[in-house]
Amino acid sequence: MRIAGRRLHREIVHADAGGSLLARDIHLPRFPFRWHYHPEVELTIIVRGSGLRFVGDAIDEFSAGDMCLLGGDCPHSWRSADDDQAGVQALVLQFSPELFAGGLLGTPEMARIGTLLERARHGVAVTGRTYERAARLVSALFAEPSGSSARLLRLLETLSCVADGGGDLCELSSGVRAMDAAAQARLGGLLAVLEGARGDLSQSTAARHLGLAPAAFSRYFHRTVGRTYAAYRTDLRIGIACHDLLGTDRTITAIAQDAGFANLSNFNRRFKTAKGMTPSAYRRLGRA
């Protein structure tokens, strides 16, 4: 996979000696663009610096006070603004999603954290009072000795705090929100077909795939996924277009048609509503 002429790197993460997580206080002149992923979950807090944050198909501005939780294998990068000469500082926690496996995530006490880690597969921005509380907990974690059980307890406290964030959490890139195992099993086949068809399934066809009447399917999909089928299909098409805009040199017209949009004007309007910029501006930002 290539994005804007740069290869997607797999980053190797090594936990701190004697510990189960990696905690880094990063100081750099600037963040270079390095499009990468790793199987570890990552929590990043920007202490100083500004620029653009790339998570999946989402491009957003970042500055001091930016906090993101990224699930395993979520592609991402930060890139400093050209006029940012003050340097950057970030607090970064990375840990294997298996850290809480072995039945622990199946306990009632850990259910909220399990749901949070599922949501983080698409990247989650943390804001407001939840950010303030979580940032204090992360600072306390860094104050504990490397490899100590106190660091692990602080990590659990931090994840619990974020899991209770409610409206302070915002998913970043396109994708279905976290759902329970039964809903995943029932919808998995449909969403696989939908994504394979690049969002080109009518609602009536999708309803037949699940053996439901159109009205019942509409209610079920909205209750399970958290949005209407039409909205999800549009988000999927926009996500496909974002990847093609950054990863290929194809024309915007061809990308719009391949993503399932009937005409260029409709694509431009939908894309600007979703991303706050035109497709050409999105491509320029990604290749700057």
Q: Are residues 57 and 149 in the same domain?
A: yes
pLDDT confidence of residue 186 = 60
Q: Are residues 143 and 212 in the same domain?
A: no
Which residues are CB-contacts of 143 (< 8 A; sequence separation ≥ 6)? none
Q: Are residues 142 and 191 in the same domain?
A: no
Q: Are residues 194 and 148 in the same domain?
A: no
pLDDT confidence of residue 177 = 46
Q: How many domains is the chain partitioned into structurally?
A: 2
Q: Are residues 55 and 139 in the same domain?
A: yes
Structural domain contains residue 141? yes
Q: Are residues 125 and 27 in the same domain?
A: yes
Q: Are residues 255 and 279 in the same domain?
A: yes
- Residue that finishes a domain, picked among 133, 149, 171: 171
The tens-digit pLDDT sequence of the chain (288 residues) is: 333 334 567 788 877 766 789 999 999 999 988 878 899 999 999 999 988 888 876 778 889 999 999 998 888 889 887 777 789 999 999 999 888 766 666 677 788 888 898 889 889 999 999 999 999 999 999 999 988 999 999 999 999 999 999 999 998 876 544 444 455 556 666 766 676 666 677 888 888 877 889 898 888 887 766 678 888 788 778 877 887 887 778 899 999 998 888 899 999 999 999 888 899 998 888 776
Structural domain contains residue 108? yes
Structural domain contains residue 224? yes
Residue 142 near residue 190, CB atoms below 8 Å: no
Q: What is the CATH number of the domain that holds 157?
A: 2.60.120.280
Q: Are residues 28 and 90 in the same domain?
A: yes
Structural domain contains residue 272? yes
Residue span of the structural domain in which 228 resides: 181-287
Q: Are residues 114 and 245 in the same domain?
A: no
The pTM score is: 0.65
- Residue that finishes a domain, picked among 107, 138, 171: 171
Structural domain contains residue 176? no
pLDDT confidence of residue 66 = 97
Q: Are residues 19 and 152 in the same domain?
A: yes
pLDDT confidence of residue 102 = 64
pLDDT confidence of residue 114 = 86
CA distance 97 to 101: 7
Q: Are residues 159 and 187 in the same domain?
A: no
If 0-12 CB within 10 Å is exposed, 13-18 middle and 19+ buried, where does residue 272 land?
middle
> What is the token pair recorded at 14?
């090594």
Structural domain contains residue 162? yes
- Residue that finishes a domain, picked among 171, 190, 214: 171
Q: Are residues 167 and 193 in the same domain?
A: no
